[in-house]
Chains A and B, each alone.
Chain A
Amino acid sequence: MNEDEVFYLFSLAVASISLLLLALILVVLVQYTLPVIKEMGFDYFITSSWNPVFGKEKYGILPYFLGTVLTSFIAVLVGVPISFGIALFLTEYSNKTLKKYLSIMIDLLAAIPSVIYGLWGFFVFRNFILDYIEKPLHNYFGKISIFSATPTGLDFLSGGLILAIMIIPIVSSVTREVLELVPTEIKEGIYAIGGNRYDVIVYGSIRYSKNGILGAILLGLGRAVGETMAVSMVIGNATGENALPRSLFSAGQTLSSLIANEFNEANPTSLHPNALVGAGLVLLMMAIVVNLGARAIVSKYKR
């Protein structure tokens, strides 16, 4: 065996650690979830009761699944247009210096640890949301069910909005890359037939790069689905039936915040830890599906 073969085998062995870890993670999580599925049956996925008390144990993760879906949806609904606006501002309206400093600032949003987002969310952002968004909406549109619950600032809306801020760096930077790939000929063509900047962007850039933008949105969604700490500090941490999303202003829970909040309190001899690991498994599946979709789109686009 020559030295290059040794090198190949050595690097192969080290790189295989990732494959091994991934396989182990899947096997271990599935194995650990099985007991609770055996006990609860399919109800584990489609019911809402949650009772870790010994002898009365009942676990249904539907509300937390819906909570993850709802908060991620809010994040995308709010975060994506803002990210798109930033990408436009940087590609169309900024000179080189402004572009440099603004993009550093947007990137720094991604550098802030999520527990600090949570701390800020709990003491600052929550009050802002409560006073300027939730109370007015509740007062004027309180009859509509999504605005009906009494606002506290610790609810699905706060969770979703803090996620919206957190996905801005990734979505805006990918969108920017995609917009910069739009060929000048397309833009010039639209200007040549009398279009203005609006026409160029709406009929040129957006049409040309819609797949790339979709990829960026999915990347943001993937980030939102897996995020834990910030959401766990502002979502209100309801469990069971109460955690079902009835209103934007009701306290809720996501799969990841449930795990963070309850894991250390779970009695190892009950099914409680198994039920929480199952929530992790569902979370993992959601993250993998969304990210695989994003990656397939983005990589096809870049080629």
Chain B
Amino acid sequence: MISLRVKKKVQNTFLFLFAFLSTIIAIIPLFSIIFEVIKNGIEAINLDFFIQLPGPLGESIGGIANAIQGTLILVTLASIIGVPIGVITGIYLYEYGKEKKSTLISFSVDLLYDLPSIVVGIFVYITVVSPMRSFSALAGALALAIVMIPIIAKTTEESLTLVPPTISEAGIALGIPKWKNIVFIVLNSAKNGVLNGIVLAVARITGETAPLIMTCLGSNFWFSGMDKPINSLTLLIWRYAMQPYPSAVKKAWGAAFLLLLVALALNLLVKSGGERK
């Protein structure tokens, strides 16, 4: 009997230790990343960091201003294209997605959601960069918009599904047209969820690197037109991190600091907003 009791105790302790240690192991990288990025990033930050061009590789002067500018332009443009398409696709999926004729569309939104983002980059390279014979801000923004669309479509659909059916039934009972009911009543009730989805998608594309490599390339200069290459924070981190110059590596950490701040802030914003609801 005693041995059975001991065995049960050992089993329980083992299980607890396993669960506890797993959690610790997962949390350590989070803190290590935040700690290292702050520690190394803060050294890079001064006024020049925000307002100067990177300058020649290896020089310790200069900043990452064009990368900040580039990320802002790319994300804004991608959102202008991606948000409306994403939200309307989400509305379609909510209203008609269960019907048989729309199976193909909801299936392709799912598949688009699953695509590795670098594949989207390749696609835009072949269809936009190659015919235009130039890497361009436009191509980068298009790639990011394509990454964005399925994310927003799915979060919009989900938020709409969460609206109690009584609300939409009340609208129908009033005799207003279906589309007004969806847009002004159901979508309006779900707007927090929809906005959260948009913010998360913006956070996601702000951190995207892979689809930008073969679309907007990166640049050492200011933005000079939609048809010209453009820099981004993520491209700068990727290109500078593995350079043999300490000054370049420092800029990479500085850019990572800025990017991480934005990514964590946007995500925490959504989390705290989600709770108030």
Enumerate chain A interface residues (CB-CB to B < 8 A).
2-4, 6-8, 10-12, 14-19, 21-25, 28-29, 32, 81-86, 88-90, 92-93, 102, 104-109, 111-120, 122-125, 165, 168, 172, 196-199, 201, 222, 225-229, 233, 256, 259-260, 263-264, 268, 276-277, 280, 283-284, 287-288, 291-292, 295
A33 → B minimal CB distance (Å) = 10
In the complex, the answer to whether A114 meets B209 with C-beta atoms within 8 Å is yes
In the complex, the answer to whether A233 meets B241 with C-beta atoms within 8 Å is yes
Ordered by A's residue number, 16 sampled pairs between the chains whose C-beta atoms are within 8 Å are A4-B179, A19-B108, A25-B119, A84-B22, A86-B26, A89-B22, A112-B30, A112-B263, A113-B207, A115-B256, A116-B260, A117-B33, A233-B242, A256-B210, A260-B210, A288-B111
Interface size class of B (residues with CB under 8 A): 35 or more
**Bound CA–CA A14/B149 (angstroms):** 11
**Bound CA–CA A25/B122 (angstroms):** 9
Known pairs A14-B92, A233-B238; list 12 more (Cβ under 8 Å).
A28-B126, A29-B119, A29-B126, A93-B19, A111-B267, A113-B259, A113-B263, A116-B207, A165-B26, A198-B11, A277-B126, A288-B114
**Bound CA–CA A227/B271 (angstroms):** 25
In the complex, the answer to whether A15 meets B89 with C-beta atoms within 8 Å is yes
In the complex, the answer to whether A168 meets B26 with C-beta atoms within 8 Å is yes
In the complex, the answer to whether A82 meets B95 with C-beta atoms within 8 Å is no
**Bound CA–CA A14/B125 (angstroms):** 23
Collect the chain A residues with CB atoms within 8 Å of residue B93's CB: 15
Collect the chain B residues with CB atoms within 8 Å of residue A118's CB: 237-238, 241
By secondary structure, the B interface counts as helix
In the complex, the answer to whether B15 meets A122 with C-beta atoms within 8 Å is no
- CB contacts under 8 Å to A, within B64-92, are 84-85, 88-89, 91-92
In the complex, the answer to whether B19 meets A86 with C-beta atoms within 8 Å is yes
B113 → A minimal CB distance (Å) = 8
Q: Number of A-B pairs whose CB atoms are under 8 Å?
A: 262
Collect the chain A residues with CB atoms within 8 Å of residue B104's CB: 19
Kindly state whether residue B16 has any CB partner on chain A within 8 Å: yes
A264 → B minimal CB distance (Å) = 6
- CB contacts under 8 Å to A, within B110-150, are 110-112, 114-120, 122-123, 125-127, 130, 146, 149-150
Collect the chain B residues with CB atoms within 8 Å of residue A256's CB: 116, 118, 210
Kindly state whether residue B184 has any CB partner on chain A within 8 Å: no
**Bound CA–CA A165/B28 (angstroms):** 10
By secondary structure, the A interface counts as helix
Collect the chain B residues with CB atoms within 8 Å of residue A284's CB: 115-116, 119
Collect the chain B residues with CB atoms within 8 Å of residue A109's CB: 26, 29-30
Contact code string B257-277 (vs A, CB < 8 Å = 1, else 0): 001100110111001000000
Collect the chain A residues with CB atoms within 8 Å of residue B159's CB: none
Q: Which residue of A lies closest to B218 (CB)?
A: A264
Q: Which residue of B lies closest to A263 (CB)?
A: B214
In the complex, the answer to whether B108 meets A22 with C-beta atoms within 8 Å is yes
Kindly state whether residue B160 has any CB partner on chain A within 8 Å: no
A209 → B minimal CB distance (Å) = 16
Q: Which residue of B lies closest to A89 (CB)?
A: B19
Q: Which residue of B lies closest to A268 (CB)?
A: B130
Contact code string B98-115 (vs A, CB < 8 Å = 1, else 0): 000010110011111011
**Bound CA–CA A284/B238 (angstroms):** 23
